[in-house]
Amino acid sequence: MGIRIIGTGSYVPDQILTNQALEQMVETSDAWIRERTGIGSRRITKAGTTDMAVKAAKCAVEQAGVLPEELGLIIVGTSTGDCLFPGTACEVQAAIGAKEAACFDLSAACSGFLFSLNTACTYLKSGEYKTALVVGADTLSKTVDWKDRGTCILFGDGAGAAVIRWEDSSGGIGPFIMKADGSRGECLRCSAMPLRNPFLDKEEDVFGYMTMNGQEVFRFAVKTVPEVLEAVLEKAGVLAGDIQYFILHQANERIISSVAKRIRQPVSKFPMNLEHYGNTSGASIPILLDELNRQGKFNRGDKILLAGFGAGLTWGATFLQW
């Protein structure tokens, strides 16, 4: 018995924000952004996180060939939902008609999809549910200060989704590893609603933009991602050379190349799409997964590693056999 991905989907908004357009907004250049990050453009939503999550979810459910009523569980990995409540997962449920599904959001920033996938798998393994929809959707464009060239060049909006099912077949998803270090939360942070009540001496009424210590996050990623990949390979009893694709969170081309070098694998095994979408946070892994799937890149039995990292700090990796 194993848990398999039976459908994937993704959605990115139509509006494209190029490096050239950013040159008009902050002191930067297309050459600098490309050289330091690998990013050429990103997408910006005018409709929000739920809209993107629903569109990605519909594609995944359609490809999976399941009825929405068959979904027992919906988890949306997001840190930028349109509302504090209801959760994005509940809104997705209503939009696709998944009446039977238990629904909740999971907040783990850029690790959001990976942690949601692992959580859904654990529920499926418990026998509680047979089929689940896992979505990663984020609107980072509303968290960045568009005057801060250290962050606004990096992020874009999007959503990706996967339908997973407990099946009578070998392989599947797992093992996985999830890690966090809350003591380093300050290096990538965005506050939510400010405190507002009549009992405060002074109300905090300013929405805080994202703040980031880019170099610290970079160092964290290039150290922890190779470590967690090695650890999950050992747990799975698989060699790095046996892996067809390493699907990493799309934050920075230099981070991905450095990880490839550190685990001594060719960078050609590390597909990337960040040139077109930038860092879409919790959406980056499922968007890439869906693109590769729809291009017919995966064969049954292919060994794949997923790895995510981001605010929290959080990071993790998941082994799966297609």
Q: Which of 59, 90, 110, 190 is catalytic?
A: 110
Q: How far is the CB of 49 from ligand UT7 (least distance, A)?
A: 17
Question: Which of 98, 13, 75 shows the shortest CA–CA distance to 49?
Answer: 13
Q: Does 122 bind ligand UT7 (CB under 6 A)?
A: no
Beta-sheet strands, E only, within the chain: 2-11, 16-18, 41-43, 73-77, 102-106, 131-139, 157-167, 172-180, 188-189, 211-212, 245-248, 303-310, 314-321
Q: How far is the CB of 55 from ligand UT7 (least distance, A)?
A: 23
Of residues 196-215, those binding ligand UT7 (CB under 6 A): 212, 214-215
Pairing verdict, β 73-77 and 102-106 = parallel
Q: How far is the CB of 1 from ligand UT7 (least distance, A)?
A: 34
Part in contact with ligand UT7 (CB under 6 A); list of ranges 31-39, 62-70, 136-144, 189-197: 31-39
Q: Does 123 bind ligand UT7 (CB under 6 A)?
A: no
Q: Does 37 bind ligand UT7 (CB under 6 A)?
A: yes
Cα separation, 321 vs 304, in Å, equals 6
Q: How many residues touch ligand UT7 (CB under 6 A)? A: 17
Q: Which one-letter amino acid corresponds to residue 216?
A: E
The C-alpha angle 108, 110, 116, rounded to 5 degrees, equals: 50
Of the two residues 123 and 218, which places its CB atom closer to ligand UT7 in the complex?
Answer: 218
110 catalytically annotated: yes
Token pair recorded at residue 19: 């490096």
The position carrying tokens 């194993």 is 2
* Residue of 107, 116, 252, 265 that binds ligand UT7 (CB under 6 A): 252
Residue 92 and residue 76 in contact, taking contact as beta carbons nearer than 8 Å: yes
Of the two residues 131 and 258, which places its CB atom closer to ligand UT7 in the complex?
Answer: 258
Q: How far is the CB of 284 from ligand UT7 (least distance, A)?
A: 8
Please report, as ranges, the residues that interact with ligand UT7 according to CB under 6 A: 28, 32, 36-37, 110, 149-150, 153, 212, 214-215, 217-218, 251-252, 279, 310
